[in-house]
Amino acid sequence: MRPRKSLFGPVLLIALGGVLLARNLAPELSLLRLFADYWPWILVFWGGFRLVEFAVARLLGRRAPEPLGAGAVIVAVFLCFAGSTAHALSRNELEFVDWIRARGGWFDLEFDYPLRHEQPVGPGQAVLIRNLEGRIRIVASEQPGLRVAGHKRIRAFHDRMAARLDERSRLEITPQEKQVVLQPRPMPERDGRRISYDIEIEMPAAAALRIEGARGRLDVQGLSGNVTIDGSASIEISDVSGPVRIHARRAQNIAARRLASTFEVAGRARRVEAEELAGAVTIEGSEVQEVRLSKLDQPARLRCNNTDLELQKLPGELEITPGAVEIVDAAGPLALNSRGSRRRRIRLERISGALTVEAQRGDLELLAGDEPPDLTDVKIERGDISVSLAPDAAFSIEATTARGSASHEFGNALQIETQDRAATLRGGRGQGPLLKLETGRGDVRVLKTEKAFGSAVEI
């Protein structure tokens, strides 16, 4: 009697259809990242499903499903290879794209060529750097002129091929009326990908700097003129006095420290970090996954990662990830809008000024302490709200949940009304600021914290 077929195939098709449907309903859902993180569960469910089938067949005296054949083994091996590769790519996906586009063949050797160039830079002239890939370090010099020193690395099958590529890709420094242009000779992209640089560029501190088409790693230090960068390099910029504007094509990391003027980032970057900035900060990019900011003296505006945020000053620190938003010690008006189907943890501590929060899915934890924000307006479609206040803090509160519970630790100062699955919390103490809290589906809690501002219960 021939064994019957396993039912795992139809079940897998149903699950795959459900995942694709979820992707259509939630465009921000990344199927590659989902597969990269959870692919081992396919093997777990496959094996568990087969065990259940065998056990049920034996108990009921029915034919057992046919055992794993060669095709199933091949599928399992391919799944392991594809899942492991996807997981590795998801950890460093942007840099892998540059690698896979080939900086040379599989069997190429690396050849090294020293570089040294000098060019005068007149007063008022800017410096334009184009189409360099590798490790590029740009520093301010006390002496006038542009100086380039370092190495060019070429991947080629043999030395004659490397010599030809070296000759075809000579660095050219072209003085023009308003700028000095540094760039390699134009060549086909397939050959250009074989060439990378490890160089240091010295330039006058007051000269404006513009970089186009940079790839690899870029480090800019000590300039006082304007800095404009357009490329896919990972960027570190520090101790710059003039405005900084970055348009990222596909950058892994952008870091800025000790800037004296405005800082603007737009485009495709995975992480953006900034610390000790004296000017306004603007970050825009739907593919920005992580943002870390601290010690900002001027307003900041963010449009990234399903998050819109505006604040006036940040003496403390801020961190945004796909799963959480944490802000400690910030001055408002602070407006936060969190979108997306993924439930996020929102933690706000020591916020002064007005506070406005809107979120589709998220658990909000507001640690207000002795001085709550001047006005708090929170609206969450689905998620819990927890507010921690000092025992003697002055405040008034209006909190509602359409489907959930309300609780507090302030005795007769607050009153709770319930109707069906809804609950309302009202009341207050003294002439304090108003806290308006609203959640469509979730619980509302008002907790006491120590006057010295201890930790509150997290949701």
pLDDT tens digits, one per residue of 31-65: 667 777 788 888 888 788 778 877 877 787 777 66
- Tell me phi and psi for residue 252, to 5 degrees: -80, -45
CA gap 338, 325 in Å, rounded: 9
pLDDT digits (tens, 9 = 90+) for 249-284: 888 899 999 999 999 999 888 899 999 999 999 999
Would the pLDDT of 13 be above 60?
Answer: yes
Q: What is the pTM of this model?
A: 0.74
Q: What would the two tokens of residue 378 be?
A: 């929170």
Q: From CA 52, how far away is CA 383, in angstroms rounded? A: 37
Q: Which burial class, exposed, middle or buried, applies to 10 when counting CB atoms under 10 A from its CB (0-12, 13-18, 19+)? A: exposed
pLDDT of residue 201: 94
Q: Which helix (H) or strand (E) holds 404?
A: none
Distances in Å between the Cα of 232 and the Cα atoms of 254, 271, 423 are: 10, 13, 51
- Reported confidence tier of residue 457, pLDDT bands at 50, 70, 90: very low
Rounded mean pLDDT of 153-182? 88
pLDDT at 9 exceeding the cut of 80: no
Distance in angstroms (rounded) separating the CA atoms of residues 405 and 443: 5
pLDDT at 369: 73
- C-alpha 448/C-alpha 429 separation (Å) is 13
pLDDT of residue 129 exceeding 80, the answer is: yes
As a whole number of angstroms, the distance between CA 50 and CA 56 comes to 10
Using the predicted structure, report yes or no on whether residue 444 has a pLDDT greater than 90.
yes
What confidence tens digit (pLDDT) does each residue in 80-120 have?
Answer: 888 877 776 655 444 444 444 444 455 568 899 999 999 88
pLDDT higher for 75 or 225? 225
Predicted local distance difference test score (pLDDT) of residue 66: 66
Residue 64, both tokens: 């057992």
- Give the three-class secondary structure for 189: helix
Cβ atoms of 200 and 220 within 8 Å: the answer is: no
- CA–CA separation, 54 and 70 (whole Å): 19
378: pLDDT strictly greater than 90 = yes
DSSP code, position 413: G
CA distance 179 to 412: 72
Span 140-162, pLDDT tens digits? 988 888 999 999 998 888 888 88
DSSP annotation of 172 reads E
Q: Hey, what amino acid is at 319?
A: E
Measured distance CA(210)–CA(245) in Å, rounded: 10
Confidence of residue 432 (pLDDT cuts 50, 70, 90): confident
- CA–CA distances in Å: residue 2 to residues 8, 62, 91: 18, 12, 46
Which two three-digit tokens encode residue 404?
């959930």
**Is residue 429 pLDDT above 90, yes or no?**
no
- Per the CB < 8 A criterion, the answer to whether 209 and 220 are in contact is yes
The region, left, alpha or beta by phi > 0 then psi within -120 to 50, assigned to residue 28 is alpha
CA distance 104 to 108: 6
Place of tokens 């979108």: 339
**Strand, coil or helix: what is 145?**
coil
Q: What is the average pLDDT across 438-450? A: 90
Work out whether the CA dihedral 337, 261, 176, 196 comes out positive or negative.
Answer: negative
Residue 157: its pLDDT value, please?
A: 80
Q: Which amino acid is at 104?
A: G
HEC secondary structure over 290-352: EEEEEEECCCEEEEECCEEEEECEEEEEEEEECCEEEEEEEECCEEEEECCCCCEEEEEEEEE
Is 170's pLDDT higher than 70? yes
Q: Tell me the pLDDT of the chain averaged across its residues.
A: 84
